[in-house]
């Protein structure tokens, strides 16, 4: 099968290693990627959605139109992209007037939004289209004995009505945990699993307050699970959890560091990708976990 890869901003510029992980893992599982040339920002919440409802939807609709023209669904590893695109599509499909307004704008650039393509969140997409079993069978390395804490990310959960893969109980998400289990890891429940990481508008507005949320979350993870690794389903959560720990350590609010990877990075690793290419930009020390997974620990 073939899908459009919606890269987004954070992945492309902040964590291209994650982009590389996607470009490795999906084809390895038989999913062909299309680049959707000319795609843009989703646009993210703090920009057009906060200024102009129609403008927000128009930019989202342009991205959808690129996929529709090729008859493809889109896959993203970023929660914000997923949320913004899914929500704008939902709005346009439920408000004919809005859709007409958007299409009037798109007409001038020779495009049209029909609503025939979906935006899919990469982990849920793989869960549904490949399934844990097939993924488990394709692995070169397994995570047996590894304990991970999952962070699905708010944008794959709420509001559940706008998403195309809503089979999850959004208050007790299980997909990411199951997908980690498929790699051989143990991914136990912890009580602040659905809590927000504090990235996004909050981090831009007030970094200190944003870190307060990370701290509460990390404490719950450390105390209840004490994992080897945190696995996120969202690139924003990845950036927040990966970078915030150094600040918190500096302020002596924590005295530990838990490595953080996006699920697609972990998957690419298990499928045999070059660790440097797919995890090389992590700020937390992921190499120990990486070596352990690849059995390179003694090298």
Partner 1 sequence: MSNAIAEPQVIDLSLGELDLVDEIKELGGEELLECIQCAKCAAVCPMALAGFPFFNKRVIQAILIGSRETLLDDSSIWACQSCNRCTEICPRQVRPFEIILAMRRVAVREFALPTLTTDGLKSLFDVGHAVYLKEAGKSRKKVGLPEKPPSTLAHPQALRELQAIMRKTALAELGIIPMGEAEVAGSCEV
Partner 2 sequence: MPRIGVYICHCGENIAGAVNIEAVREYAGTLPGVAVAKDYLFMCSDPGQELIRQDIKDGLVDRVVVAACTPRTHEPIFRKAVEDGGLNKYLFEMANIRDQDSWAHWNEKDGATEKAKRLIASAVAKAGLLEPLQDRFVEVTKSALVIGAGVSGMFAALDLANMGYKVHLVEKEPSVGGNMAKLDKTFPTNDCSACILTPVMVQVGTHPNIELLTYAEVASVEGSIGNFKVDVVKKQTYIDWDKCTGCGDCVNACPAKAPNEFNEGMDNRKAVYIQFPQAVPKKAVLDLDHCINCGKRSIGTQPRTHSVTGEPILAPCEKACKTGACDRSVAYDPAGERVTLQVGTIIAAAGFKAMDKAPFKEYSPQSPNVITSMQLERILSATGPTEGEFKRPSDGKKPATVAFISCVGSRDKSHHSYCSKVCCMYMLKEARLIKEKYPATNVYLFYIDVRTAGKDFEEYYNYCRDLGIKVIRGRAGAVDELAGDRLRVRAYDVDMCAPVELESDLVVLATAIEPAPGLPEMGRKLGINCGGEGFLKELHTKLYPVETSVKGIYVAGCAQGPKDIPESVSQARAASSSAAVPLTLGKVVVEPFSSAVDREKCSGCGICVPLCPYSAISREEVDGKLRARIDEALCAGCGVCAAACPSLAITLHGFTEAQIQAQINALTIGAGGGKVV
Cα–Cα distance, 55 to 44 (Å, whole number): 12
Residues 132-161 that bind partner 2 (CB under 8 A): none
Of 290, 289, 284, the residue nearest 218 (C-alpha)? 284
- Between CA 2 and CA 125, with CA 184 as vertex, the angle to 5 degrees is 25
Q: Which is nearer to partner 2, 70 or 192 (CB)?
A: 192
Q: How far is the CB of 43 from partner 2 (least distance, A)?
A: 29
Contact criterion met (CB below 8 Å) for 89 and 137: no
Q: Is 171 in the site for partner 2 (CB under 8 A)?
A: yes
Dihedral (Cα; 57, 58, 59, 60), 10-degree rounding: 50
Q: Is 189 in the site for partner 2 (CB under 8 A)?
A: yes
Q: How far is the CB of 193 from partner 2 (least distance, A)?
A: 8
Hey, is 51 helix, strand or coil?
Answer: coil
Give strand pairing partners of 186.
147
Cα–Cα distance, 109 to 91 (Å, whole number): 21
Cα–Cα distance, 262 to 204 (Å, whole number): 22
DSSP 136-178: HHH-SS--TT-BEEEE--GGGTSSGGG-S-TTS-TTS--HHHH
Please pick, from the candidates 136, 272, 280, 287, the single residue that binds partner 1 as defined by CB under 8 A: 280
Which of partner 1, partner 2, none does residue 264 bind (CB under 5 to 8 Å by kind)?
A: none
Which of partner 2, partner 1, none does residue 212 bind (CB under 5 to 8 Å by kind)?
A: partner 1
Please pick, from the candidates 67, 74, 75, 213, the single residue that binds partner 1 as defined by CB under 8 A: 213
Residues 18-37 that bind partner 2 (CB under 8 A): none
Neighbour-count burial for 246-281, b at 16+ CB within 10 Å, e otherwise: ebbeeeebbeeebbbbbbbbbbbbbbebebeebbeb
Q: How far is CA 276 from CA 11, 12, 20, 230, in A?
A: 16, 16, 10, 18
From 13-21, 49-57, 165-173, 226-234, give the range in contact with partner 2 by CB under 8 A.
Answer: 165-173
Q: Which is nearer to partner 1, 2 or 209 (CB)?
A: 209
Q: Is 224 in the site for partner 2 (CB under 8 A)?
A: yes
Of 136, 125, 131, the residue nearest 77 (C-alpha)? 125
Please pick, from the candidates 2, 13, 144, 191, the single residue that binds partner 2 as defined by CB under 8 A: 191
Q: Is 93 in the site for partner 1 (CB under 8 A)?
A: no
Q: Which is nearer to partner 2, 119 or 221 (CB)?
A: 221
Q: Is 172 in the site for partner 2 (CB under 8 A)?
A: yes
Residues 126-165 that bind partner 1 (CB under 8 A): 154-155, 157-160
Which of partner 2, partner 1, none does residue 235 bind (CB under 5 to 8 Å by kind)?
A: none
Q: Is 253 in the site for partner 1 (CB under 8 A)?
A: no
Please pick, from the candidates 32, 69, 167, 169, the single residue that binds partner 2 as defined by CB under 8 A: 169
Question: Footprint of partner 2 on this chain (CB under 8 A)?
Answer: 169-172, 189, 191-192, 224
């Amino acid at each position: 099968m073939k899908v459009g890869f919606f890269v987004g901003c954070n992945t492309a510029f902040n964590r291209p290693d994650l982009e590389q992980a996607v470009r490795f893992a999906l084809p390895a599982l038989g999913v062909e990627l299309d680049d959707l040339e000319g795609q843009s920002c989703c646009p993210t919440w703090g920009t057009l959605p906060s200024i102009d409802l129609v403008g927000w939807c128009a930019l989202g609709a342009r991205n959808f139109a690129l996929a529709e023209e090729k008859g493809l669904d889109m896959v993203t590893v970023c929660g914000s992209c997923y949320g913004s695109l899914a929500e704008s599509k939902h709005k346009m499909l439920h408000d004919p007037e809005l859709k007409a307004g958007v299409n009037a704008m798109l007409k001038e650039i020779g495009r049209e939004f029909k609503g025939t393509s979906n935006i899919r969140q990469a982990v849920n997409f793989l869960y549904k289209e490949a399934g844990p079993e097939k993924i488990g069978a394709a692995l070169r390395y397994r995570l047996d004995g590894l304990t991970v804490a999952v962070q699905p990310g708010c944008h794959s959960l709420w509001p559940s009505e706008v998403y195309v893969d809503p089979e999850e109980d959004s208050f007790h998400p299980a997909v990411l945990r199951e997908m980690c289990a498929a790699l051989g890891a143990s991914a136990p429940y912890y009580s602040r699993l659905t809590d927000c990481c504090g990235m996004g508008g909050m981090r831009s507005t007030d970094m200190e307050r944003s870190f307060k949320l990370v701290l509460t979350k990390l404490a719950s993870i450390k105390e209840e699970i004490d994992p080897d690794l945190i696995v996120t389903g969202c690139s924003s959560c990845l950036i927040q959890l990966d970078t915030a720990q150094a600040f918190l350590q500096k302020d002596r609010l924590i005295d530990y560091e838990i490595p953080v990877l996006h699920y697609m990075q972990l998957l690419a690793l298990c499928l045999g990708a070059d660790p440097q290419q797919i995890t090389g930009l992590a700020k937390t020390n992921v190499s120990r976990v990486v070596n352990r997974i690849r059995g390179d620990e003694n090298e």
